[in-house]
Every structure is written in structure tokens, then in C-alpha cells.
Chains A and B, each alone.
Chain A
Amino acid sequence: MDQFIINLLFVGGSFALYIGIAIWAKAGSTSDFYVAGGGVHPITNGAAIGADWMSAASFISMAGLIAAGGYANSTFLMGWTGGYVLLAMLLAPYLRKFGKFTVPEFIGDRFYSKNARFVAVACLIVASVTYVIGQMAGAGVAFSRFLEVDSTTGLMIAALVVFVYAVLGGMKGITYTQVAQYCVLIIAYTIPAVFISLQLTGNPLPPLGLFSTHVDSGMPLLEKLDQVITDLGFRDYTADVDNKLNMVLFTLSLMIGTAGLPHVIIRFFTVPKVADARWSAGWALVFIALLYLTAPAVASMARLNLMTTIYPNGVDGQAIEYDERPQWIQEWEVTGLIQFEDKNNDGRIQFYNEGNPEFADEAEARGWEGNEFTYNNDILVLANPEIANLPGWVVGLIAAGGLAAALSTAAGLLLAISSAVSHDLIKGAFKPDISEKGELLAARISMAAAIVVATYLGANPPGFAAQVVALAFGIAAASLFPALMMGIFFKRINNKGAIAGMLAGLGATLVYIFIFLGWFFIPGTNNLANTPDNWLLGISPLSFGAVGALINFAVAFAVSHATEEPPVEIQELVESVRYPRGAGKATDH
């Protein structure tokens, strides 16, 4: 069967499933829409959080990043999972006990201040909108590659599908759709990995295969990979990192940012009990770990397979001839994500590290005049089954999985945005007497508007995809997480302290990012070149969220202790969120 038809069957079939679930789980009340009526089982909720959390970045980009960076990029693995420990112990159970619909609502009530609530709404919207752009763009790319349409058409199809199930079903529809999407994405991710692990190491479990023996060479897989890539002048895959401070802070920023992202936090409002919120965090991490333990295996094996494809006779032998390149290289060349330039006109694809001065002599001796092959990290997972010569249905499965990852995260983010607009802004500030029906309509309209904005920005990306993610995590880490944590653990923090802390943490983080990446990301407006020499203490702008969080804590403590104590009823509120007894369903009053 034609590959296009297979892709169409897998993608179309999975979409039909999502829409069917949405019609079955239509939301009837604001409680259904915002928190799925508060009746979701912790394991079900865990799978939904897994799909909500694992975005196009986890599914498509992460393994490619690890393949390129080796040990140094383990930061993503630890950072994007370690945040769940913070969530389970420092935020989720208490926010569930508090029992409201949105994150800004807790901040507004705890710090008895509408201004605090608006600062939180602003942080939430900026973090979520920047994040959703990446998802829509990712879905557009996956569509254009697998359905052979242009990426704008792909984006429109994606937007339409999200519109149907998110606007109709709200949290209830999204939760059950996300469980289905989790199943699709985890099957799509692991099946090719199992095949490849079997081919290379004989071990069917990829996480074990990573540390097993490479069948063809009889060496441990990682040793073989180290040898192959260092022979071409690349950096050792398992090599240690010099700038450990930056590695620690980057990991910490990802962890705190994960715990502070509102679209993840609101998922804990959907379970019936406080105890369930704790279990939910554990189950979520189990479901996430299935992919995160497979990703490093996918990364190293795909890198090795790529090298073997280009150097079929070993790296000491001749590189493959361009005319004999496999089908998948030809297909990805069309998208521009793989590029070949025959610099020494020998008709072969020389792929090596031309930036390594120690390797220059050897390259010259072999008649090479520069690296001739470049590829985009993001293609690695999508091209993985083709690189390993797996059958066509596996390719179709990967397409459906990548789209499930992008769409499930987009839906969760859109819900967080719409609840902040309809519940915190419209009901909380402009029209407190709005009826439940009116609020539900406002939530659906604001979600539709958010989809239109996200689709427009996805079709015309401002050209700073990687920076955008840093911005989302930086904002969540520097503003939302510290405010939430202090609101629960430190009774003495008052409204002035919390607002000053959030603004200071956010301001410092934004300024540091803008100095190196350009003011509001406008190219050419950066004050300093974005190189390690210019960074303060070697801290990259992407790692600064952790420092912003520290600033937030310090300022909040200093200002709170210099001003009056919070009122008695607020101290009693803090007291009450600490004890599970008396947690009703999540409500709006």
C-alpha cells in the first residue's frame, strides 16, 4: 500500500477517535468545563497529565537534542521529570484542598489582592500562548511531511480538530481525549524503539538496550558510539561537562518551571480527593517516564544508525555515494531539513566535525574539504523508523503519535488560557454577576479566540522557537511557582511581598533573556552577544529562571517582613489548605 494512504489511515483514524470521545464527554456545566466535574480517577488523570505534559518538544525534539548533545543534554530528562516531585509535595495536594478552578484564583485569594490575581493572569497567558505557538507549528510540520500538504493547510486541519474537541468538551472532553492520545503517542514512540533496540543489541527493552552490547561490534553500545563519533572529530557522547553551575541551574529552571506551569497544575483540581492528587502526580510521572526512559535509547541508537548509514563500511572507509543515498534522505531533503553540498566534488557524503581543529589534518589527508551533510535535530524521531528500515505502518504510527503529542498539549494550554480569561478576568473583574451559562459561553468564545491567535502565530512564527520555550519556563519558574509555594508554606508572606516578589523575579528574568536574545526577541536589539564569555558567571539566559525564582523568594520575604502581617482570616485560609479534611469538589466560590 502507498505510504501516503497508510499515513492517512493512521492519522484519520486517531482523529475520528478523539472527536468521538469529545461528543461522548460533552461538558454541561462550568465545573465540567474547568475541572471535569472533579470526578476523574487518579490513574486516568495521570495518563491525561502525561499527554498534556508531553508536547511536540518531548515527542519530536528531545531525543534529537540528546542525540546531538549526549550526556550534556540529560538536563532535559531530569528537568522535565524532577518538577513532578516538587508538584506532588509542594503544590498539588494543597491547591486541590483549596478547591478552586484556576491558578490565578488561588494567588488572588491567598494574597487578598486583585492586582496579584492580574499579575498571575498575565504570567499565565504569556507563558501559555508562547508555549502553544510551538505546538501548532509542530503539528503543521508533521502534517506537511506525512500528509503531503503545505504546512498552512496542515495547521488549519490541526486547529479545526482541536477546536471541535476542546471547545465542545472543555476539561471533561480534553481529559478523556488525552487518555486516548497518551495511548497513541506512547505506542508510536516505543514500537520503533523496540525494533531498533532488537536490531542493534538483541535486547527488546530500549532502556536496557542502551547499556547492552552492540551486536555487530561486540562492544558496549555507548562505547561503540563514542568511538564512531570521536573518529569523525565529534565530541565524546558520554563526555562530562565543564560548566557545571550552568548545567545545575538549567536543570533547576526546567524543574521549577515544570512545577509552575498552570496547564499542568489545574489537572490536579480534577481528582475527587486530596489523597488522589498525591497519587495522581506519581501516576503522571510513571506514564511520562515510559517515554523519558525510552528517549535516551532512541537518541544514541539513532545517532549510531545515522553514522552507519553514511559510512556503510565503517568510519575509516569511504562515505556513501550521494546517488545511492536511501529514500528517507531524499524525502527529507525536499523539506529542507536535510542538506547536502558536495564541497570536494567526489560525489560522496562526508559527514564530520569541521569545527574541530585537532581533526583538520586527518580531514585534509582524506581529501575532505568541509562537512557536507547537515540535518535538523527535530527530524530524528520522525525519520527514525525509516533510518532503521522499519515497515510502512510504523511510519504512519509515528505520524499519528507526533500529532497526538502536539494536539493534546495545545488543548491543555488552550483550556488554561480560556479559564484565566473567562473565570479570572470576566467573572473575577468585569462582570462578577455573570450566570453559569454566560460564563460557559465566555469560556468557549475565549478558547476559540485563543485557537485563532495560536493558529495565526503558528503559521507566521516569529522565528524564535527555542527562545520561546525558555521564556515560558522562565516565567513559570520566576513568577508562578514561588508565589504558589510561599502562599502555602509561609503564612507571613503578605500581598505586598508576593506582588513585589513576582514582579522582581519576572523582571530580572525577562531583562536577562532580552539582553542576550534581543528586546522582545526583535533581532539585532540584544545588548550583548549570546556567548558563554558574556554570561554572568557563565549562566545562560535559558538557565536564568532558577535565579529569577531565588530573587522572587528573597524579595517577597524582605518586603513581607518589613510590612504588616496578613489578616487573621488569610492565616486561617493557609492553615486550612494544609489539612486534607473538608475538601469538597472544586467550586467557584
Chain B
Amino acid sequence: MSGHDYDAVNYWKANLRLIFGSLIVWALVSYGFAILLRPMLAGIPVGGTDLGFWFAQQGSILTFIALIFHYAWRMNKLDEKFDVHEE
């Protein structure tokens, strides 16, 4: 598949950048806010407990959904921009 007529290198780089950014957020809300950084967030009250507890039981899941839809939306745009989308 060598000799594409599209900018394959930059398409893949843009994809990797998007994945990298998404995984930073993914790790931050789950391993960060919900587990390791929970003591730092202990001062922020949420309905009888603290923000870290909310991230552990609800916040991470909601963020994961947003991340996947954001990724799908951006990638489908990139597919068109670099003209690698399916007919």
C-alpha cells in the first residue's frame, strides 16, 4: 500500500496525538482524581462525601463516555480531511 495519494504520515500523527490526549484525561479522572489524588480533593464536599468518591463511582464513567464520543467525532472529521474515509 505504498504510494498513497493522501498524507498518511500526518493523518496517523494526528490520530496518535488525539489518542494520547484522550488517555491523559482517562488516567487523570480514574487513577488520578478517583484514587491517588483523592486526599487532595477531600476538601470538596459532594452530597455527604467528597469529590474523589464521586469520580470513583460516577465521574470517571461519565468522562469515559464523553471521551469515546469525542474521539469518534474527531476521527471521522480527520478521515474526511485527509481523504481516507470509506466510500
Residues in A neighbouring B61, C-beta threshold 8 A: 77-78, 81, 285, 289, 292-293
Q: Which residue, B35, B39, B60, has most C-beta atoms of chain A within 10 A?
A: B35
Asked if B56 and A220 sit within 8 Å, CB to CB, the answer is: no
Tell whether A492 is near chain B: CB-to-CB under 8 Å: no
Asked if A282 and B48 sit within 8 Å, CB to CB, the answer is: no
Asked if A222 and B49 sit within 8 Å, CB to CB, the answer is: yes
CA gap between A247 and B62 in the complex, in Å: 20
- Give the contact stretch, choosing among A107-115, A386-394, A437-445, A570-578: A570-578
Asked if A81 and B60 sit within 8 Å, CB to CB, the answer is: yes
A-B CB contacts (within 8 Å), total count: 145
Tell whether A332 is near chain B: CB-to-CB under 8 Å: no
Residues in B neighbouring A583, C-beta threshold 8 A: 86
Tell whether A207 is near chain B: CB-to-CB under 8 Å: yes
> Closest residue of chain B to A575, judged by CB?
B1
Among the listed B11, B19, B30, B50, which residue makes an inter-chain contact with A90, where contact means beta carbons less than 8 Å apart? Answer: B19
Residues in B neighbouring A252, C-beta threshold 8 A: 31
A580 with B35: in contact, given A85-B67, A275-B72, A292-B61 (CB under 8 Å)? no
Among the listed B6, B30, B53, B69, which residue makes an inter-chain contact with A282, where contact means beta carbons less than 8 Å apart? Answer: B69
Asked if B85 and A275 sit within 8 Å, CB to CB, the answer is: yes
Residues in A neighbouring B1, C-beta threshold 8 A: 572, 575-576
Q: Which residue, B8, B50, B75, has most C-beta atoms of chain A within 10 A?
A: B75
A278 with B71: in contact, given A222-B49, A575-B8 (CB under 8 Å)? yes
In the complex, which residues 281-321 of chain A have their Cβ closer than 8 Å to any Cβ of chain B? 281-282, 285-286, 289, 292-293, 296
CA gap between A222 and B35 in the complex, in Å: 19
Q: Which residue, B4, B31, B87, has most C-beta atoms of chain A within 10 A?
A: B31
CA gap between A56 and B10 in the complex, in Å: 44
| 0/1 string, A218-242, CB within 8 A of B gives 1 | 0111111010000000000010110
Residues in B neighbouring A241, C-beta threshold 8 A: 35
Asked if A579 and B47 sit within 8 Å, CB to CB, the answer is: no
CA gap between A296 and B61 in the complex, in Å: 12
Q: Which residue, A221, A238, A252, A576, has most C-beta atoms of chain B within 10 A?
A: A238
> Closest residue of chain B to A207, judged by CB?
B58
Asked if A82 and B30 sit within 8 Å, CB to CB, the answer is: yes
Asked if B22 and A222 sit within 8 Å, CB to CB, the answer is: no
Asked if B58 and A78 sit within 8 Å, CB to CB, the answer is: no
In the complex, which residues 33-87 of chain B have their Cβ closer than 8 Å to any Cβ of chain A? 34-36, 38-39, 42, 46-50, 52-54, 56-58, 60-62, 64-65, 67-69, 71-72, 75-76, 79, 83-87
Residues in B neighbouring A71, C-beta threshold 8 A: 53, 56-57
In the complex, which residues 52-94 of chain A have their Cβ closer than 8 Å to any Cβ of chain B? 66, 71, 74, 77-78, 81-82, 84-85, 88-90, 93
Sample 15 A-B pairs with CB under 8 A, ordered by A number. Answer: A66-B57, A77-B56, A78-B30, A82-B26, A84-B68, A89-B19, A93-B75, A211-B46, A220-B47, A248-B35, A278-B71, A296-B58, A572-B2, A575-B8, A580-B84
A85-B68, A289-B65 given; name 17 further pairs at CB < 8 Å.
A71-B57, A77-B57, A81-B61, A88-B71, A89-B19, A210-B57, A211-B48, A244-B36, A275-B75, A278-B76, A279-B72, A285-B61, A293-B62, A578-B8, A578-B12, A581-B86, A583-B86
